Amino acid sequence: MSEQKLILVVDDDPDLVEAVSMKLETKNFRVAKAYDGVEAMDRIKEEKPALVILDVMMPRKNGWDVCEEIKNDPNLKDIAVVLLTAVADSVKTTSYTHHDGKTTLADDYIPKPIDLDELMEIVNDHCS
């Protein structure tokens, strides 16, 4: 029986972390959670997950910086990083934006609002 892979979900929206975690657990992954960039780096160094699902706009340290730290560290650089890219506006309509994730060091990206099934496909691609 293959070992359950550990995935770290990082977002400053705790409800989104729960939603993504629940989905991952139903797909038989182990899940760790972090709610900002500093906490994410601590968990990454401690637990060496197979993959990090990483929000971009977060308190204390943003996702771009976390991604850069992971990919520039020889001990961590093999950890796959999937960026969640969005900027929410506190305006009268829902709005979003996404960066061209391919120009970053991330392995993949998914624009917000995320489609959980699409996210699962990306996770499977990087964890198989």
Contact footprint for another protein (CB under 8 A): 12-19, 33-36, 38-39, 42, 57, 59-60, 62, 64, 86-99, 112-117
Nearer residue to another protein within complex by CB, 1 or 91: 91
Count of beta carbons in the 10 Å neighbourhood of residue 53: 28
Question: Cβ closer to another protein: 2 or 94?
Answer: 94
Provide the token pair at 44: 């990454």
Q: Could you tell me the smallest distance in angstroms from the CB atom of residue 73 to another protein?
A: 19
Instruction: Write the CA distances from 110 to 2, 42, 45, 60, 74, integer angstroms.
Output: 27, 24, 24, 22, 25
Nearest residue (CB) to another protein, 70 versus 74: 70
